[in-house]
Amino acid sequence: MMSILIPTAVFLAVYWGRFFLLNYKFGKNPPLILPLAFTCLFIPKITLMQINPDHSMAGIRTDDILMLVMLLISLRDAYTWKNRKVLIGVGFLLVLSVSNLISVFVGRSTGYDNAIPFSILFILRRYEYFAFVLIGIYLARKTENAEKVALEEFTWLSCIHVVIALLQVAGVCNYATIGFLDYCPDYWRGLAISTFNGHYEYGQFLCFALAIYLCAFIRTKKIAWAGMMAVSMVMLWLTKSRSSVIVGAIVVILILFVSAWKIRRRWLRICVLVGMLLVIVAGALVCTGVIKVGRFALIDLNAYYRGWNYYMEHGDLKKLNELVRMDANTGFGMGWGGNIDGSAAGRFYKWGCAMDGFRQSPIFGYGTGVTQVADGNYFKLLGEGGLIGTLLWLGMYGYYMFTVCSLRKKTVIARSVFYMMVSILFASLFFDMFEASKPMEMLWLAIGLVIGIPSLKSEGLAGEHE
């Protein structure tokens, strides 16, 4: 079976060929950092140098090198650091880093085998992802009509990812993950994954696409954006990621609900609200298992409730440390009940372990990396960082949500970025989405664009942007 690297290389060549054509033939002159940033969302995350043998994420990856180049380019302009919003974010990260380091040593002093290299790498990756804010501001300053250019690049990227994902669904190419060139677990075969690290990450990317394309359609009334949104919805379903499908539906409903009140014609407003009601009812029937569809057919709420209680009572952090160091096919088959599907059982167990750590060390937690890949970021934050680490992270995220929301009338992209941030909040109930590199890179880049464009206008540089 053909590796994902071959179609990725082909489509990357198409993407970069388009960039050079625009740059040299049509003289549009978009900065080089623009295709570099979007290439980060393209290349498979393959580990080049391992740091912690107990976790495949702990290493220097292909995208790390690319991000370092972009960070150096964006830091070359000293004015980037004069943005107060960037400095506040860096301040949050500095305090959070100190708190996380304390958490690591609290865990080690209590007998937990925290892998120091992995913990340090985990902390540094937050800065690595946050660097995309600087890149977004750089693009806002260096690109004419940055919002339009970014939307065009995202659309191109989205279309190429759709092609790669459909090739995977058809069995033409395989899925490459960290450290392996031809690896695809059985339960991922035939799913739409693209070059993301799992169907849930691609699902989050598609939730972003729904927010962007729906907001663009409402603003411009161009049918092309509605078509792109429809394609994104189909691809979202093909990921078979139940949580991503739910998050996508929530985002669409929220946007339509807010937009309905701005519609002047009463009959059209009523149609929108009735359509939303039908979607909500249908979604409720699917999510509760009344309508048996795909992976949703596995849902048994009573079994989930029993599983939740059992794993919350029996979750044990030290046992989890033993399990994550074993082969996934054997370790994660131990101790899970057979009354619910495996993904939910594993998630409940890791939530119980994280809460076990939080109960024993509620202030600082037990250190980054102890719960490893615990799905459900809020449990992970509480278990590893305690109350202090959780409040610091959510405080920083909330600050940027408020900032983006306050700029929605000045920058047209701000509305879609706000709903992108909302989608991450919901997705993080089920996944470790705050640590997912490609979604967070995309989100921070978009936030950088939002806070960078108004700063141009306030500094009298609007002519450069427009």
In this predicted structure, what is the pLDDT of residue 372? 66
Residue 325 has pLDDT above 60, yes or no: no
DSSP label of 412: T
Q: Which residues contact 407 (CB under 8 A, 6 or more apart)?
A: 414, 450, 451, 454
Report which of residues 417 and 41 the model is more confident about: 417
- Helices marked H in 266-376: 266-287, 301-314, 317-323, 328-331, 342-360
For the chain, percent of residues with pLDDT exceeding 90: 19
- At 126, list the tokens: 């937050």
Please check whether residue 428 is in contact with residue 377, taking contact to mean a CB–CB distance below 8 angstroms.
yes
In this predicted structure, what is the pLDDT of residue 228? 94
Cα angle 43, 151, 8; round to 5: 20
Over residues 264-280, the pLDDT tens digits come to 677 777 877 887 788 78
Over residues 393-421, the pLDDT tens digits come to 999 999 999 999 999 888 888 999 999 99
DSSP label of 241: -
Report which of residues 187 and 201 the model is more confident about: 201
Q: Which of 233, 216, 200, 243 is nearest to 154 (CA)?
A: 216
Residue 462 has pLDDT above 70, yes or no: no
Ramachandran sector of residue 128 (left: φ over 0; alpha: ψ -120 to 50; beta: rest): alpha
Rounded to two decimals, what is the model's pTM?
A: 0.87
Residues across the chain: 466
- Give the CA distances from residue 438 to residues 80, 125, 197, 258, 444, in Å, rounded to whole numbers and listed in that order: 23, 12, 8, 28, 10
Please check whether residue 437 is in contact with residue 44, taking contact to mean a CB–CB distance below 8 angstroms.
no
Average pLDDT of every residue of the chain: 79
